[in-house]
Amino acid sequence: MFASDRLALAERYTELLATEGVLRGLIGPREAPRLWERHVLNSAVLGEAVPDGASVCDVGTGAGLPGLVLAIARPDLAVTLVEPLLRRTTFLDEVVAELELSHVTVVRGRAEDLHGTATFDIVTSRAVAPLERLLGWSMPLVSPTGATVAMKGRSVHDEIAETRGFLSTWRCGEPEVFEVGAGLLDPPTTVVRVPWADPSRIGWPLARNPKRRPGRRDRSAVEREVS
């Protein structure tokens, strides 16, 4: 989950969440005692669903869950954290600077602000919105061979059923529901993965013809486009 050389970073991030995060209203006071088990580890296991060296965009990242945790656990990833609220992005910028996470970019804005500007291998989220609305924000950011990978609850199958029309209209692939963290967490984290049905026939023009695909070398491009 966390390699030995990354564990101290994860612990420091959790400490900042429990202190500054609570003071700034990013985390509820009742959540502070269970941040590690309920939030940090829950987010870290999402790395099981992210390929090596991927570019990742975490939409509605809030205080950095799951995107910042993924970045701490996986230095091989190029991670973009997208969040519209200034008090949250200020906190994220401070954490990224203190932990020296050079592979992380913080963008103040909404997912829609990046539509037509950038695509990513993986677009993540955690408890952001019902599936259909979430896919409307996320899929235009997914590269032709990439996927949306969202952390969901047990009602995910009902959400998929309600999203069938959307999936067909925009040529999304069949959603795959699976668990990550089995044997490590109780209960494991439920994840839904939605790719494009056919990478050569993407239904969303903005994802088909991106202006720029950010990675480790041009993360600042996203910030310039949004600002």
112 labelled binding-site residue: yes
User: How big is the CA angle at 224 (ends 223 and 227), to the nearest 5 degrees?
Assistant: 80
- String of DSSP letters for 117-159: T--EEEEEEES-S-HHHHHHHHGGGEEEEEEEEEEE-TTHHHH
126 is in an annotated binding site: yes
The answer to whether residues 151 and 127 touch, using CB atoms and an 8 Å cutoff, is yes
Q: How many CB atoms lie within 10 A of CB 225?
A: 17
| Residue 212, marked binder | no
Residue count of the chain, please give it.
227
Please give the Cα distance from 97 to 95 (Å, whole number). 5
- DSSP, res 220: H
Residue 171 among known ligand-binding residues: no
118 marked as part of a ligand binding site: no
Task: For 54-122, give the DSSP string.
Answer: -EEEEET-TTTTTHHHHHHH-TTSEEEEEE--HHHHHHHHHHHHHHT-TTEEEEES-GGGGTTT--EEE
Q: Name the binding residues.
A: 60, 65, 111-112, 126
Q: Name the binding residues for S-adenosyl-L-methionine.
A: 60, 65, 111-112, 126
